[in-house]
A and B are shown apart, each in its own frame.
Chain A
Amino acid sequence: KQEVTQIPAALSVPEGENLVLNCSFTDSAIYNLQWFRQDPGKGLTSLLLIQSSQREQTSGRLNASLDKSSGRSTLYIAASQPGDSATYLCAVKESSSFQKLVFGTGTRLLVSP
C-alpha cells in the first residue's frame, strides 16, 4: 500500500527565506506527482504537476523536483512571503490505479512578516 510522508510537519520562517518542503513515497510505481496548497478550512489549489518522466517543474517562485527511483520529491519556495502561509500537500497518482490520488501528511507553513 502506497504511503506518502511529508517532512517537516510544520515550518515557521521569517519573510524572505528560501525553503524546501519534502515528500517521500514508498512505491516508486507512480504516474505523476502533484503539489497542492490548502488554506485553513478551504479546498485545494493545484500548484505543480510533475509527470513520472520529468525531473522538475517550475512556476514563478515555486520549483518542484522528482526523483522517482528514490521515492522523493521536493518543493522549493524562493523568497517566501506571508501570503505563502498555508498547508502544502503532495499527492501521487499510482500507475496501477489511474484515478486515485494518494495524499501526503502535509506541511503547515507559517511565514512571518
Chain B
Amino acid sequence: DTEVTQTPKHLVMGMTNKKSLKCEQHMGHRAMYWYKQKAKKPPELMFVYSYEKLSINESVPSRFSPECPNSSLLNLHLHALQPEDSALYLCASSPTPDRGNIQYFGAGTRLSVL
C-alpha cells in the first residue's frame, strides 16, 4: 500500500473562515510534506515534518499553520486566507527524511478562497 489520502478533495472557503486540510498515510513513513501548486505551475514546498517535528518552513505566511499530531497524520490549518491562496494543496510522505527516499504524493485538495 503506497497510498497517501487527502481530505477533503475540494474546499471552498471565505476569507474569514477557518478550515483544515487532512493528510493520512499508513505506510509507517516518518517524513511528511505539504506542497502548494498554482494552476499550470509546478508544486512548491511549504513545510516538512521529520519524525513529527517541523524541520522546514519555506517562509510560509502564518495564516497557514501545519500540525503533525502523530506519525500517520498531517494537518494544515487555514485561517484568514486570501483569494491568491487558491491552489491545489498536495501532501507527500517518504519513509524517512533521507535524501535517497522517494516521496509519495496524495491526490491533493483543491482549495478555492472567495
Least CB separation from B98: chain A residue? A98
State the Cβ distance, A33 to closest chain B Cβ, in Å.
12
Size of interface on A: residues with Cβ below 8 Å to B: 25
Main secondary structure of the interface of B (DSSP, over half): strand
Q: Which one of B40-48, B66-74, B78-86 is at the A interface?
A: B40-48
Number of interface residues, chain B, beta carbon within 8 A: 29
Interface residues of A in 47-67 (CB under 8 A from B): 49, 51
Q: Is B55 an interface residue (CB 8 A)?
A: yes
Bitwise interface map of A from 87 to 110 toward B, beta carbon under 8 Å scored 1, else 0: 001010101001111011110000
Q: Please list the residues of chain B having a beta carbon within 8 angstroms of any beta carbon in chain A.
A: 4, 6, 31, 33, 40-45, 48, 50, 55-56, 88, 90, 92, 97-100, 102-108, 110
Q: Which 4 residue pairs across A and B have the least CB separation, nearest first?
A: A103-B42, A98-B99, A44-B105, A43-B107
